[in-house]
Amino acid sequence: MTASKHRPRRPYLDPRERARRLSNSIRLLAFAVAAGILLAGIGLSLFPQTYLLGVAGLLAYPLLVQTLLVMAERRDRRTERAAPVLMQLDAAVIGVACALLHFAVIPSLVLLIIVHANSVSHGGLRAWLLNLLSTAVGAGLALWLLRVPLQVTTVPLPLSVLSLVGLGLHVGASSFFANRQTRYLQQTQERVREQQRQAVELSRKLAKYLPPQVWGSLFSGQRDAKLETRRKRLTIFFSDIRGFSTVSEELPLDTLTRMLNTYLSEMTRIALRYGGTIDKFIGDAVMVFFGDPKSAGAQEDAFRCVAMAVEMQEYMRFLRLRWRREGIDQKLEIRIGINTGFVTVGNFGTDSRMDYTILGTDVNLASRLESACRPGQVLISESTYGLVKDRVRCRSVGEIQVKGFHRPITVYEAHELKRNAGSKRRFVTLDSPGLGLHVDLERIHNYDKKAILKALARCATELKKAEPAAVEYETEGFALYMDDKRLRERDREKVVEMLGQAARQIQDRVRM
């Protein structure tokens, strides 16, 4: 290992701490230059020996200020407000130094450049104007209190050169420290960018464990992670796969895992598209609610929930086509129960571990309706039916007795949205030996239209010519699987007709 690897890392300093240290170093250097010029003038017999007290004052002043600042910080007192005051006090002391130099032109100009350049770079125009006033006040006090004669002294060339050398040292040191500060700033920015990258990566991971609505409101500051609940009217959705426990015992573990993840992923995608808040997954069961943290109104929330349920049932037909091609022959169907009512919603648990969920009798009713469902059915309560009956085609099931409720519950079965009824039907699904077709006319992208029509036309043409045909084509809103070896001869003509109907529907209703 190289020696650099054994070098201890320097402790991280806050950028403000680094800036303060650099500013103190510049202040010490400025007054060291002033003291050096005055000391050289005394050495050249230009000024009386009593001015040595001024030299001592110029050296002691910045050290005293630094000591007072350190003592204040140790007592947890804020020192940020002291910077503008110190800037003006520095200007006043430099004014005194100019008076002690008897206002010699070059030495005085050097000191004025040093102090006023610092004020302009750190405080702007207003601070510079105040600095001019402070310098004048300091010079005036020196003239009055120290009895410094009001005359401009001509200094020899060596002192002028020494003054310019001091100015050069100060400018060089200031540039060096500015460069160091820039490097520190770049390092800090890089550290902030790295922390931001880590925070984004962490937020992406956490988002997988939280509903998007809750995650978004937490990170935007609209919601706080604290224990609080409220009463609200929500529409609650429950679903599960019929006979999933039996299926899970028959399938290999990797096949079961892949199938369940596919199912939950697709159901989640549909739920999020309708704006549902996914409460939890319990094995194959899914719990979703509408109306919190964002609500479009009780009627619209209920409609979106039922529309979501109808689409989920239709999409299950497509998933069965896909699973059958993967060798899963069990006819997997889902049951869905929906209810609307007032529930308690919010964060439950402890300060260290909480769960955003809903509680109440109406939540239990939605769960009981799901349990009472037949496979492939969507049961809704009377309260939900009253909100969606104008937009959803429903059939009365009558009254059923559910566990935990003393009186019978009036329920309805939701079939399809009225806007998709009849000739405007949105979904087309065919499932027969040798053929699988799924069409969702609202999910087909216009840029996929030509490719889909070509796949349908090729499939129909090959069937008409009695040529070998094996087609597999899948995209958003469309899937076609055909194997003519499994297709019954008597079904060929009917299949060609159905493919033509599907093509005409896509041609008419999917716009380029």
Could you report the per-residue pLDDT of 360-413, keeping only the tens digit for each?
Answer: 999 999 999 999 999 999 999 999 999 999 999 999 999 999 888 888 999 999
Q: Are residues 268 and 358 in the same domain?
A: yes
Which of 192, 214, 247 represents a domain boundary (last residue)? 192
173 and 318 inside one domain: no
Kindly state whether residue 224 falls inside one of the protein's structural domains. no
Same domain, 488 and 375: no
Q: What pLDDT shows up at residue 4?
A: 45
For the beta carbon of residue 229, count every other beta carbon within 10 angstroms: 14
Contact (Cβ atoms closer than 8 angstroms) between residue 470 and residue 484: yes
Q: How confident is the model at residue 351 (pLDDT cuts 50, 70, 90)?
A: confident
For residue 80, is it within any domain? yes
Classify burial at 389, counting beta carbons within 10 Å of its beta carbon; exposed 0-12, middle 13-18, buried 19 or more.
middle
Q: Is 226 helix (H, G, I), strand (E, B) or coil?
A: coil
What backbone torsions phi and psi does residue 77 show, to the nearest 5 degrees? -100, 140
pLDDT value, residue 2: 46
- Domain membership of residue 204 (yes or no) is no
- Spatial distance between the Cα atoms of 312 and 305, rounded to a whole number of angstroms: 11
Shared domain check, 170 and 30: yes
Q: 366 and 465 in one domain?
A: no
Any domain includes 302: yes
Q: Are strands 435-440 and 334-349 parallel, antiparallel or unpaired?
A: unpaired
Domain match, 393 and 460 both:
no
Query: What Rg value do the Cα atoms of the chain yield, rounded?
Result: 41
Q: What is the pLDDT of residue 100?
A: 85
Establish if 216 belongs to a structural domain: no
CA distance 4 to 88: 44
What is residue 9's predicted lDDT score, i.e. its pLDDT?
A: 47
Residue at a domain's end among 423, 441, 472: 423
The answer to whether residues 420 and 426 touch, using CB atoms and an 8 Å cutoff, is yes
Same domain as 333, residue 471: no
Strand ranges for 382-426 from DSSP E: 392-400, 409-417
Q: How many domains does the chain have?
A: 3
Predicted pLDDT of residue 3: 46
Q: CATH no. for residue 332? A: 3.30.70.1230
* Statement to judge: residues 181 and 314 lie in one domain: no
* pLDDT greater at residue 195 or residue 381: 381
* C-alpha span between 494 and 367 (Å, rounded): 41
CA terminus-to-terminus distance, the chain = 65
223 falls in which pLDDT band (50, 70, 90)? low
Most confidently modeled range among 1-15, 43-57, 307-321: 307-321
Question: What's the whole-number mean pLDDT along residues 181-192?
Answer: 82
Separation between Cα atoms, residue 308 and residue 82, nearest integer Å? 63
| E strand map for 185-276 | 229-241
Assess whether 43 and 163 both reside in one domain. yes
14-23, 156-165, 358-367: range with highest mean pLDDT: 358-367
Instruction: Report whether 430 contacts 452 (CB < 8 A).
Output: no
Question: Does 4 fall in a domain?
Answer: no
Domain containing 186 equals: 10-192
Residue 79 has pLDDT above 80, yes or no: no
* Same domain flag for 186 and 173: yes
Q: Is the pTM of this model over 0.85?
A: no
Are residues 150 and 110 located together in one domain of the fold?
yes
Span of 167-171, 348-352, 368-372, 444-448 with lowest mean pLDDT: 348-352
Residue 491 lies in a domain: yes
Q: What are residue 254's phi and psi, to 5 degrees?
A: -65, -35
User: In this structure, is residue 269 part of a structural domain?
Assistant: yes
pLDDT band at residue 461 under the 50/70/90 scheme: confident
Buried b (16+ CB within 10 A) or exposed e, 150-184: eeebebeeebbebbeebbeebeebbeebeeebeeb
Of residues 19 and 143, more confidently modeled: 143
> How high does pLDDT run on average in the chain?
83
Q: Which helix (H) or strand (E) holds 136?
A: helix 105-145
Q: Among 59-68, 195-204, 376-385, 453-462, which range has the highest average pLDDT?
A: 376-385
**Is residue 152 domain-shared with residue 243, that is, in the same domain?**
no
- Of 402, 423, 444, the last residue of a domain is 423
Of the candidate ranges 72-81, 84-93, 105-114, 415-424, the one whose mean pLDDT is the lowest? 72-81
Read off the tokens for 212: 């998007």
The residue that leads in pLDDT, 238 or 79, is: 238
pLDDT digits (tens, 9 = 90+) for 238-254: 999 988 888 888 888 88
- pLDDT tens digits, 267-313: 999 999 999 999 888 889 999 999 988 899 999 999 999 999 999 99
